[in-house]
Amino acid sequence: MRKIGKVVLFQPENFSATRHYYGVPMQLLAISRILAKEGYEIKIITPVDFENPKEEVLKQAKGAICVGLTVLTGYSIHDSLKVSKMIKKHYPKLPVVWGGWHPSILPIETLVDENIDIVIKGQGERTFAEVVHSLETKKSLKNILGIAYKNKAKEIIENPDRPLESLDNFPPIPYWLLNIEKYILPMEFGERSLTYYTSCGCPHNCIFCVEPIVNKCHWVGLSPQKAADEITKLKNEYNLDSIQIIDSNFFISEDRAIQFSQRLIDNKTNIKWGDVNGRTKQMSNYKESTWKLMKKSGLECVLVGAESGDNKILKFMNKGITVEDTLNFTKICAKFDIKILSSFLVGFPRSNNTQKCFKLVDEEIDSAFKLIDKMFKIYPRIRMMFALYLPYPSSGLFEQSKKIGLDLPDDLEAWSDYLIASEDVFNQKVRQKWVTKIQARKILMASVYIFFFLDPDSFGMVTGKVKNKLFKFFLKFGFNIGKAIACFRWRHRYFSLPIDFYIYNYLRQHLNLFKN
């Protein structure tokens, strides 16, 4: 009988050393699907499951086939490099494999670092399994699609991309590899919620998105029946009352949404589902009967990209929607009482003149704020998310951004602070020379602070697991003060003297309540 090999997988901190990520490590579960079914020993190590995850990964690395890490741009790189260096120091010959959005976008630059041996590009379920098989049997990596790697001479080789493969070809997500109770969290629409995905990729070509770079505007998904059946099984197995679906584009077609919803009803699943990504134009054209069916099946919350309050900007983004589509979508959600998560993106480099860009960014912010006011008047149950545009290499506006003055990182470690996190708001480095520091702080302040308090579901979500009644009372008292200040700021568009934002940001990092 063949000896079963061991694979170690590590989830780094995504935000900072003080603000933890409590979500399910879906990328690590995804690449475990095939290997777990084949009988490999999979050790998934996260800050949620282990008090000292770095010590644990070093302990488990002994005798492993490889160590895999999932890496996003930002602090995740810093944490992943720390672990990779530690592994190479103790086990120099143990292969270190990086996957995730950042190495998928910049595979060659990632491999320049001496502590990384292999990069998985894009969808990793099949690719990672083939890499593990080859490493275990000492075979060459040269014929594996979707990877970049270093050969024995330390030369970097990039293999051809792997086309997206149907998720129906893979075993179910192996949640049992985790101490799953620690990952079941309260959401806006449920007390016991788990993360799940039904598709990969997106067929659209928005100018700001990394999907066209990584997945080449392709989309693959589970059959709606299989997705609904798996959710039903998860609900019964883990006593869930809700499921968070994190697809890049779930509502790819009305027929798929109908079949999925009907299957949940036929299964008598009785579960709420939400945070589901769609497009306002497409969903505004759904029949009323479809919306009724989705609501009946448990749909509670939809994530959409409104992105801008100016149709000219939406056209510039190649978004394929209009402001009117967003308002129509808001009216439909109000009618069926389905919460909206709506993202906005501002700060595009639309002129070679920096001073003119500053003015254009102010106009983008103003038009977005006006649209948000209109949406709130139609329906208050909306969580707004505001972001500052920051281009990635190979994305649509990257070359234009470099001409105007994009401050690019000069090595892998430097990408750790490429994004502006809330922790950096009072000591921020704005890499976009066409955006002022005041504009960047206003955007972050609106998204992280003001829109948090304007969301009517925030308090319940944050305190969902707080059992101490006295502590909860004081939290509510403080929350109401924060809400009053945030509402005043929003009503008067007042973003100066952000002492309250500083206090909120400190509590957000250290109170351990904001589990996202």
Q: Which residues contact 351 (CB under 8 A, 6 or more apart)?
A: 357, 360, 404, 434
Q: According to the model, what pLDDT value does residue 365 have?
A: 97
Find out whether 333 and 306 touch, Cβ atoms under 8 Å.
no
Q: In what order do the strands lie in the sheet with 190-196?
A: 185-187, 190-196, 242-245, 272-274
Please compute the mean of the pLDDT values over residues 462-479 and round it to a whole number. Answer: 81
Q: Is residue 45 part of a domain?
A: yes
Beta bridge partners of 9: 44, 68
The domain that holds 20 is classified in CATH as 3.40.50.2300
The number of domains in the chain is: 1
CA 87 from chain centre, in angstroms, equals: 27
| Per-residue pLDDT at 509 exceeds 60 | yes
Burial class (CB in 10 A: 0-12, 13-18, 19+), 427: exposed
Q: Is residue 426 part of a domain?
A: no
CA 444 from chain centre, in angstroms, equals: 17
Please compute the mean of the pLDDT values over residues 234-258 and round it to a whole number. Answer: 97
Of the listed ranges 72-81, 150-159, 504-513, the one predicted with least confidence: 504-513
| 241 CB neighbour count, 10 Å cutoff | 18
Q: Which residues contact 110 (CB under 8 A, 6 or more apart)?
A: 98, 102, 103, 116, 119, 148, 412
What is the rounded distance in angstroms from the CA atom of residue 190 to the CA atom of residue 460? 10
The rounded percent of the chain whose pLDDT value lies above 90 is: 77
Q: According to the model, what pLDDT value does residue 475 have?
A: 85
CA 398 from chain centre, in angstroms, equals: 21
Q: Is residue 310 part of a domain?
A: no
Find out whether 177 and 42 touch, Cβ atoms under 8 Å.
yes
| Per-residue pLDDT at 1 exceeds 50 | no
Q: Is residue 149 part of a domain?
A: yes
| Per-residue pLDDT at 139 exceeds 60 | yes
Please compute the mean of the pLDDT values over residues 148-177 and round it to a whole number. Answer: 96
Q: Is residue 111 part of a domain?
A: yes
Q: According to the model, what pLDDT value does residue 470 have?
A: 85
> Which helix H or strand E contains 383, and what residues bound it?
strand 382-388
Q: Is residue 92 part of a domain?
A: yes
**What does DSSP assign to residue 240?**
-
Q: Note the pLDDT tens digit of each residue in 296-338.
A: 999 999 999 999 999 999 999 999 999 999 999 999 999 999 9
Please compute the mean of the pLDDT values over residues 265-283 and round it to a whole number. Answer: 97
Find out whether 174 and 9 touch, Cβ atoms under 8 Å.
no
| Per-residue pLDDT at 513 exceeds 70 | no
Query: What is the CA angle 473-18-240, rounded to 5?
Result: 60
Q: Is residue 381 part of a domain?
A: no
Q: According to the model, what pLDDT value does residue 21 have?
A: 76
Beta bridge partners of 149: 118, 157
Phi and psi of 429, rounded to 5°?
Answer: -110, 110
Position 55: which residue type?
E
Find out whether 492 and 441 touch, Cβ atoms under 8 Å.
no
Residue 426 banded pLDDT, cuts 50, 70, 90 = low
What is the rounded distance in angstroms from the CA atom of residue 165 to the CA atom of residue 405? 39
What is the rounded distance in angstroms from the CA atom of residue 426 to the CA atom of residue 498? 10
Q: Are strands 66-70 and 96-99 parallel, antiparallel or unpaired?
A: parallel
Find out whether 470 and 397 touch, Cβ atoms under 8 Å.
no
Of the listed ranges 207-211, 269-273, 467-471, 495-499, the one predicted with least confidence: 467-471
Q: Is residue 47 part of a domain?
A: yes
Beta bridge partners of 305: 343
| Per-residue pLDDT at 512 exceeds 80 | no
Mean pLDDT over the full length of the chain: 92
Residue 421 banded pLDDT, cuts 50, 70, 90 = low
| Per-residue pLDDT at 20 exceeds 90 | no
Q: According to the model, what pLDDT value does residue 22 have?
A: 78
Residue range of the domain that includes 90: 6-158
Token pair 């102010």 in the structure block, residue: 362
Closest CA to 311 of 281, 272, 270: 281
